[in-house]
Structure 1
Amino acid sequence: MKDDNQENPKSSSKIVSGSIDIYAVQCVKCNKWRVIDMEEEYEEIRSKFTEEPYVCSKKPGISCHNPPDIDYDASRTWVIDKPDIPKTPEGFKRSLVLRKDFSKLDAYYISPSGRKMRTLAEVAAFLKANPELKGVSVDDFSFHCPKVVEDTIPEYAEKKMPTSGSASKKMKITKDGEKH
C-alpha cells in the first residue's frame, strides 16, 4: 500500500532517510493503484481496510475505468502495509525508516513533546506519565511494519550476507551487478 522511491537516495524528492514519499492503495475491484494525497487519509483507509475495502470510487471523480495513478514496477521500492493498523493518535507521529540494506522498516512514534518511542512498553510508560492525554490508549499504537517487496529493492542496496558465525557481512551490489 505504500511505496518508497529509490532512484537516487540523495535527491530531496526521493528517499530521505528511508522515508515514505508516496502513499497508495490498491482497489479491491480492479487492482489499480490509487495515490492517496495525505498520510492522515492513508492511515484512515488502512485502519478500516477489512471492514471498508478500498475501491476507486472512494476517490472523487475516479472509477475503475480510469487508468491507475501509479504503476507497480521496480522504479521505486514498494512496501506493503498490514490492514487495520490503528490510525495514529492526534498529536503523535508514526515514523517508518527503511534500513540501509532494504531488509525492513523500523517503526517508532514521536510524542507531542518530541519523545521518540520504539516499543509499546515505552508508549505505556509515556501515557502513564502524561495522564492529560485522555482518550489515548496503548491499543492506539502499532509497531507492525510494512513488508519490503523484494523484487523492487534496488540493485545498489547493501545486502547482508549470512556467515558461519553470528555476525553478518555486508555486500554492496552496484548498478552494473558487480558485488563488492
Structure 2
Amino acid sequence: MEEETDVVEAKKVWESVKLYTVRCGLCSKWRLIPSKHKYEEIRAKMGEEMFECERAREWRPLVSCRHESDVKQDDSNMRWAMDKPNIPQTPPTWQRILRIRAEGGTKFADVYYVSPSNKRLRSMVELRRYLEDNPRYAEDKMKLSHFSFQPPVPLDDKYVAKRQNRDIGIGIGVMSTQNANVGAGGKLGHPPFSN
C-alpha cells in the first residue's frame, strides 16, 4: 500500500486553456469568466441552470444581453472547444488540468488530475488506486464521482485525425440541455453534439 508521503512528485503540467467563456442561453453572446474555479462552478450546474448574461454581474456589475459579446468566434488566434455539461467541480486542493494535443492526432486533449500531494493521475483506474492507497480521502468523503476525465470536443472537426485519415482541428467549452454553452480555451462556438 503506497502512502501519500511516498508519492513521487508529479512533473509540472502546464494548462493549455487561457480563457474561459460561457454562452448566454438567451442572447447567445459569450461572456468571459474571471477564473477557472468560477468556470467549473458554472459548468457543473449547466444541466440544471441556464447561464444568462445577468449572472456575469457577479464579476461585471453592468453587463447584460444588450452588451456586445466579450469574445468572437472568428478570432483566428484562439482555438475553440466545448465541454460537456455537468462535469463535477474539481475538489478543493486538487487540480484538473487540460492539455490540448497537437493538430492531426487521434485525440484532442488529455485530462489530468493533480492531487494535493502533487501526484498526477491520468485515468479513473489510476485515480481509484490512488484513493484506495490513501484512505484519508475516504474520510474526506472523496468519491470517484467527484472527477471526470471527459475531454472537451473540438469545434473544428478537422483538428483531430480520423483513425485512418490525417485531417486536423482544436478548441474548448460546455453546453447545457437548455442550449446555453460554457467554453474555455481559446475559441468557443456552437455545440458539436446535440441535446
- Shift in Å at residue 24 of structure 1? 0.2
Q: C-alpha separation between the residues in 2 aligned to 1:83 and 1:171? A: 27
Letter in structure 2 aligned against 1:135: K
Name the count of aligned residue pairs: 147
Residue type of the partner of 1:128? Answer: E
Could you say which residue in structure 2 is the equivalent of 1:50? 47
Question: Aligned match of 1:107 in 103, 107, 111?
Answer: 111
Matches of 1:171 and 1:51, distance apart in 2: 36
One-letter amino acid of the structure 2 residue matched with residue 115 of structure 1 = K
Q: What are structure 1's unaligned runs of at least 5 residues?
A: 1-15, 154-158, 173-180
Higher strand share: 1
**Residue 130 of structure 1, aligned match among 127, 134, 157:** 134
Q: TM-score, normalised by structure 1?
A: 0.73
Q: SS at the partner of 1:114?
A: coil
Moved over 3 A (4+): 159-163
Tell me the alpha carbon deviations over residues 76-122 of structure 1, each in whole angstroms, 9 at most, x when there is no partner: 11011100000011111111111112650111111111111111121
Query: Shift of residue 44 of structure 1?
Result: 0.2
Match of 1:119 among 119, 123, 127: 123
Larger Rg: 1
Cα pair 1:86 1:140 within 8 Å, conserved: yes
Work out the CA distance in 1 between the residues paired with 2:14 and 2:127. Answer: 23
CA contact (8 A) 1:74 1:151 kept: no
Closer, same or farther: CA 117–34 of 1 in aligned 2, 3 Å:
same
Matching residue's letter, 2:88? P
Amino acid at match of 2:115: S
Distance in 2 between residues matched to 1:151 and 1:125, nearest whole Å: 34
Secondary structure of residue in 2 paired with 1:142: coil
Alignment of 1:1-180 (within 5 A): 19-60=16-57, 61-75=62-76, 76-101=78-103, 103-133=107-137, 134-150=140-156, 160=161
Unaligned runs of 5+ in 2: 1-12, 169-195
Identity of aligned residues (%): 35
Contact kept? 1:99, 1:106, Cα under 8 Å: yes
- 1:123 match: secondary structure: helix
Counterpart contact for 2:15–2:97, Cα < 8 Å: no
Shift of 1:18: 6.7
SS in 1 for 2:131: helix
Following the alignment from structure 1 to structure 2, what is the Cα–Cα distance between the partners of residues 135 and 86? 15
Per-residue CA deviation, residues 36-68 of structure 1 (Å, 9 max, x unaligned), is 010000000000011111100001121101111
**Given the superposition, is the C-alpha separation of residues 42 and 161 from structure 1 closer, same or farther in structure 2, using an over 3 Å criterion?**
closer
Q: 3-state SS of the aligned residue for 1:52?
A: coil
SS in 2 for 1:150: coil
